[in-house]
Structure 1
Amino acid sequence: MTPAHDDARTGTPAPADPPAVPVTRADRLRDHAAGWIDELRQGERPLLRRPAPLDVLLVGILGILAVGGLFMDDLGNDARRDPDAFGIVLAILCVLPLLWRSSHSLRVLIAVTIPFLVLAGNHYGAAGASLGQLVAMYSAAVSRPRIPAAFALFFAEGTTMIWLAIGRRNIGFVDVLANLAALFAVWAFARSVGFRRAYTAELEARADRLLHTREADTRAVLAEERGRIARELHDVVAHHVSVMTVQASAAQRTIARNPDRACEAMAAVEQTGRAALVEMRRLVGILRGNDEEVGGTVQLNEGHNAPQPGLDALEVLVQQVREAGVSVELSIEGVPTELPPGVDLAAYRIIQEALTNTLKHAGPAGSRVLLRYRPEEILVRVADDGRGAAASLDSRDSERTGHGLLGMRERVALYGGRLYAGPRAGGGFEVLARIPLAPGDRPAAGAGERPDRGDRTDRTDRPDRLEQNPA
């Protein structure tokens, strides 16, 4: 509702809009003049700057020429005044402001013009002093934008006309035209030099931007690679060490009353440790950068082949967890198909991490693993009936548990999938992931979204609860 409606409802008259102020032609001219002045001031820097050594040398040379010009016969000047102290001071003032030509080119042009006109108006020999104005105009044309550079040209041309008019009596149209043409030629050359400098500066700036962009891309790639290696390292170490810990604990408890069972448990510890070493060697090879990946198999320097784990090794993974004392029920639905290597690895690692969390946090529990193949995606579900990892999220194990859940979330998000990981309504913990088989098959959803009802495998699952408990 607008303020006017509020006023009508309350009976209070709405305030009248202020009358529009007409914009006059003088206002427009004033705005244009302000814009020109701002552009003329563009690039000016503080006056109190130490002059550049080259400018000091240039002023010294031009000062000698300006003073020497007082003693030279100015061609066409029938009433040339003999040099004196006043003329020498004026000649020096015609070149002294050039010390700041690099930072204040327009101001310097005006500053050298005033004593130059006084010098010419008093009929001193001003040919040498005119070089100061020429250098000032060149500096303005090189370093300033279009409007200030054009101002410098017209200012110098006008000053030259005044000089020729008041300082030289016997002069013809050809002489005037020659002087003006010489000024324009110097100005045009200065503009070309300025354009080339600006073009070179733009190329350097573009190269710097490209370098910064490349460095940022490199840092992003390195961060992504570090994240990938961290996920792999966590999955390998967490799973194998958890299995070894459970099996070693079982061997310690049964060694007195059942030595054979203890020996089997220790043999399983050895086997799991060897598998962990193979995985660790593969990761070390990747970190060193001296490995070669062929057909999904990493060829290590030691001569061992370390195949990337995938769903074809799922039975071995489930058997390891069973040997560690957790009852695991594996169900595969649909027609198993060859998956993209990344999706295959992601699905395997998600199941591995979920079973590892069951070993670490669920206590005596059973776990159910569902792997469902679909034409456009694959669904992974791991649920246990123990106390659940959620109970550890507020405990000392929260940091370790968080790394595993973060790794699962990153793996699923990498392929535009969906993930839920959280407690079940009937007790225990559940991990549910849907991963598209090809990019663009299904848009990525926010974390915590639950697949549709056709994907539900447990009647106790409630979609509203799943949406409120994102991983």
Structure 2
Amino acid sequence: MSAAQAAPFLRKITPGGWAALAWLAGLLFTVLLRVRLPGQEKAEVLAGVVILRWDGLTMLALATLLALRGSLLLTRRPGTALGHLLGSAVVGSLPLGVTAIPLAQYLAVDVALYAIAVTRPHHESDRAVFLGLGTVAGYLAVRLACGWNVGTTTALAVGLTAAVAWLLGRAQRQTREHAEQTRLRIAEQAVTAERLRIAREMHDTVAHSIGIVALQAGAARRVIDNRPDQAREALAAIETASRETLAGLRRMLGALRTADEEGNGAKENGSRGSATDHRTAPTTDHRTTHATSGAPAPSGTSPLPKGAALTKPPVVPKPSVLPEMPGLAALDRLAETTAAAGVRVAVRWTGAPRPLPPDIDLSAFRLVQESVTNVVRHSGADRCTVTVDHSDPEALALTVEDLGPAPGRERERSGGGSGYGLPGMRERVGLLHGDFTAGPRPGGGFRVAARLPLPSGVTSA
């Protein structure tokens, strides 16, 4: 059996199991030292008188029971478990006729000290090592008080192994703490970067809306005397754009304030996804589009009134270039750019499209963009499906999924990445009070799903 195959089995053994194995191994080693093995003229250690009598065997049995009891308690009550193991080391050494606690009888204590140093707080591990070393010193002190010989070198060796086991456990704990702090710090930085990106996009959205308001106001001012009906239309467009922008700002600021009060949720979600409620309406009225098909009308914007003809027409970007402030209307252009990277994207529209608030429209596009980017960089798939579901009148549902690596593309698409795109997407959805799930599909591949609640008043077009 290779080391890779044996590792999962070894991980299943609890610290108490290792302590019990250490005690039994030490007991077996003690017995083997006191019997003549094949090839030896005599035993390496002379057996004491007491060990061969009933009282010596009774003390060894009692020490074994104490050691096994301590091993069972090591995970739940480490302090009590260490006391049992130290007692077993002392009781097990009495019938051996030795001048100090042998190393074989102290192996289980070393395992316990290591486990306590890894899993328990610093003050508990410090108390444990002082208790372990104090027991060794106390055994020598009792023998000195009784006028018996003491094995100073043996006691020093036992104390040294106990200190080394404790230091290894402390180092392992510090390594784990440092790794966890690094993971949380990187996740927090990813969330902060995503928030800054959202803030910049929100600023651009507000600036875009204010620009529309300025254009409409100028158009209304020019035609208010001659064409009051067109002026009213321009004022209505100004009112709509202003209300949408104000509502988006309120949602964003309220979500940021709530997130700051509740704490940074990314510290709990950093390298794993949390299961959330995701509702997907039945698929009806499908309209599948690919890179060459047309896109639905942009959402979240109002057409210019007739009086606005005095302004310059908008500049239409090239098909291969995404607009500066994209929305779901830019998904087909995203599919074109992704197809150039070797991954075909099928965009499915379910339900009747409706105008969306600019912040939700932009966030929905960014979620799809990041998910498709992950497919291109990490999945090895040659195609993926993007589903935009408008069936639920209260929310917008997004799904991006792929079928896994295509034949011959595993190595080609094994590019590296930070691995923190999912926390950023989760933070973006959380700021909109939505639901987010991401994980492997049952049949292979990966699936990202998000549900963005819509404010009241957003109806189908």
TM-score bracket for the superposition, by shorter chain length: 0.3 to 0.5
* Structure showing greater Rg: 1
TM-score, normalising length from structure 2?
0.38
Structure possessing the higher relative contact order (Cα contacts under 8 Å, 6 or more residues apart)? 2
